[in-house]
Amino acid sequence: MNSQNTQNKFLGALNEKQAEAVTLKNQSALVLAGAGSGKTLVLTSRVSWLIQNQIVSPGGILAVTFTNKAAKEMLVRISSQLPINTRGMWVGTFHGLCNRFLRKHHTDANLPETFQILDSSDQKSAIKRVMKGMNVNEEMYPSKEAQYFINSNKDKGIRSEGVKPHDEHTKKLNEVYAEYERQCQREGVADFAELLLRCIELFTNNSVIRNHYQSIFKHILVDEFQDTSSLQYQWLKLLTSKESFIFAVGDDDQSIYGFRGARVGNMKDFEKDYKIKNVVKLEQNYRSKNNILNTANAIIDNNKNRLGKNLFTDSGDGDLVRQYTALSEVDEANFIIDEIKMLHREGLRYDQFAILYRNNAQSRVIEHAIVSNNIPYRVYGGLRFFERAEIKNGLAYLRLISNKTDDNAFLRIVNFPTRGIGARSIEQLQDLAKNNDTSLWDAALEIESKNEVTKKGIPFFVNLIRHLEDEIHGLSISESIDKIVEQSGLKDHYLKDKDGLDRVSNLNELVSAAVTFLNTVEVDNPDLNLVEFLNYTSLESGELQASAGEDALQLMTIHSSKGLEFDVVFITGLEDGLCPHERSLTESDGLEEERRLMYVAVTRAKNKLYLSLAQSRMLYGQTQYNIPSRFLDEIPEGLIKRMNTVEKSTTNTWDSFSQLPTSSSINREIPIGRQVTHSKFGIGMVIGYEGGENDLRIQIKFKSHGVKLLAMEYAKIEPI
């Protein structure tokens, strides 16, 4: 009876389509979950329903999310729906789950039990060391380029031996890749891309392990399926058999991470590969008013390669979408701040507002306007807790104590705080390690054995690490961190710094993070607590952000806004070349991805949506004269309320820009902002002039051919 009541309780909270998805019998399913349609509720209810009806045990479920936050939220919700212990369930991110698999089968994966995870900056440092050891010229081969080359190949499932260089430059990058692989293997470390690739290789090459997990996981649930890469989809397929089922939840209209390797085509492939009988569409939105949803629907409907759905709501039409055409980026920023101040006086908190932009560089002028008006604000997605220098320095001591072969950690702290070890000494140490094919720590031991211990230099550092290792023996992680911060010299160093108190506070917070970790994470082997904590800091990077709960105006890129919602949203810089970005016009599927990005931005708004653009904008030190974003033309007139006197032309959006100011310093025949036609390039708009009377050149932004600089004397152009 109680069981039935529990089931009725969580099923009763679902609408018809949500309930249909949750109660699907043994079959793979694709759930198209539109923005604000309750996909998290559906996912957790699906898990609860499967367990409640004894279709599968908790241990037979694998749930994959894209953030640790989403994984934790899922477990909390399941616990609230069912009286079960969720700690043994396989719920986590792709990276987190791969880490768990590799940890259990480290021998088969050819990894040490204590292997550690390199975050992005540590990986870059490791690559730099490799290149230096190979005498590779970093001016010709930047470490950032090498890092991208390595990760992009790993994301495609290609090892260095599988790369086919097409020129000498690529050949050298691949040599760096090969040496980097050897170094990581020797040091017992793995970067993020390696976790997934190594796990796929483990399942591919070891049928016993693969079959074992295929027999365990009968139901696999995947969140944000539209963001999966080709390699992640391959990983999922390796974990499924004919007797197991995938419940994929996603929204192809919100696939905006193509630059990270996300492949929206996985959704159509999934339909085919798993013979999906029907696609369940969650179209009822619980976030936004109808005018906002109709705006989003109208924009995204122009994308051709989509599965198709149409969002609706029962919460009423709401206000019309407001559009403001500013004279400049300063005018745009001032308008936004004036609107925020007015709505704030009417009772809205600052944290109910979000200002979105396509490019980070756009925030400068907006921030200036905010500061000028003494409004508290926060740039969402700023420097993350575990990425702060003082935190990475503190963790580096722990990493080196835990794993003496971690050369990245060694290099980070060998002379921090400074202890008289110069660049030349470090070079000699690296040469010794390379010649002996050992770690930097082993090379340091060799130097230490031949020298007297003083208050500085490499012998002093070796003895400091030995001392710290003795001091923290038997202590908890939190106690160890506290001891290291005090005795390494980090605390004293930062207290001398101008913002040192904040840095010391962050180090104190690291102690708190360790306490939280021990209280919330179940570790099979207590001896591996330290290793697990260090991996936790890598996997959790960015989840413990400061100032998250403060009443402050939110600024962020459109990419950063995905998954968030706000009462009032301002989407700025809606100009062709900025949104959509000019790069999208030359990339395959580029414009469709930009339109999906616009769709994401629009659907962040709950009650009020503002769209703004500037006729002229100074960006990267240059003033640009802009064409309104083509996305604005895709919105029906009946949904828009214009906030200024610039009216939309019945023939062409560009005509509204025909009154742009012109300079009288040069006798221009055609004013800036005027439409023209060219016999070869077609229709364009005058955006500037260069030169004097004798060598006057006209700059035109053409619809189909981009910006051209033409000699005025010879340019065959006609005003329209």
| Active-site position among 604, 608, 617, 701 | 604
| Active-site position among 191, 194, 223, 576 | 223
d(CA 228, CA 268): 12
Angle at 659 between CA 655 and CA 660, to 5 degrees: 110
Unique residue bearing structure tokens 């009541």: 5
| Active-site position among 6, 20, 23, 40 | 40
Active site residue 40: yes
Give counts: helices (H), strands (E), the chain.
27, 22
> What CA–CA distances, in Å, run from 223 to 40, 44, 66, 251, 561?
8, 10, 7, 10, 17
Active site residue 194: no
d(CA 481, CA 395): 8
Q: Which two tokens stand for residue 358?
A: 């396509």
Strands 605-614 and 321-326: parallel
Residue 610: beta bridge partners? 322, 570
d(CA 520, CA 477): 14
| Active-site position among 122, 155, 194, 224 | 224
Distance of CA 552 to the CA centre of its chain: 22
- CB neighbours (10 Å) of residue 188? 17
Active site residue 223: yes
d(CA 321, CA 604): 13
Amino acid identity, position 25: K
Q: What is the DSSP string of 503-522?
A: HHHHHHHHHHHHHHHHHH--
> Could you tell me if 394 and 507 are in contact, meaning their C-beta atoms sit under 8 angstroms apart?
yes
Active site residue 185: no
| Active-site position among 18, 114, 123, 254 | 254
Angle at 228 between CA 208 and CA 599, to 5 degrees: 165
Active site residue 253: no
Q: Which two tokens stand for residue 182?
A: 């050897």
* Phi/psi at 493 (5° precision): -60, -50
HEC string of 617-655 equals EEECCEEEECCECHHHHCCCHHHEEECCCCCCCCCCHHH
Amino acid identity, position 463: N
Q: Which two tokens stand for residue 544?
A: 């413990």
Unique residue bearing structure tokens 């490019």: 359
Active site residue 86: no
Distance of CA 663 to the CA centre of its chain: 43
Query: Among candidates 647, 612, 626, which has minimal Cα distance to 366?
Result: 612
Residues whose CB falls within 8 Å of the CB of residue 473, separated by 6 or more in sequence, listed in order:
none
Query: Among candidates 675, 679, 677, 701, which has minimal Cα distance to 688?
Result: 701
| Active-site position among 39, 281, 309, 392 | 39
d(CA 295, CA 320): 10
d(CA 472, CA 398): 10
Catalytic residues: 39-40, 223-224, 254, 604
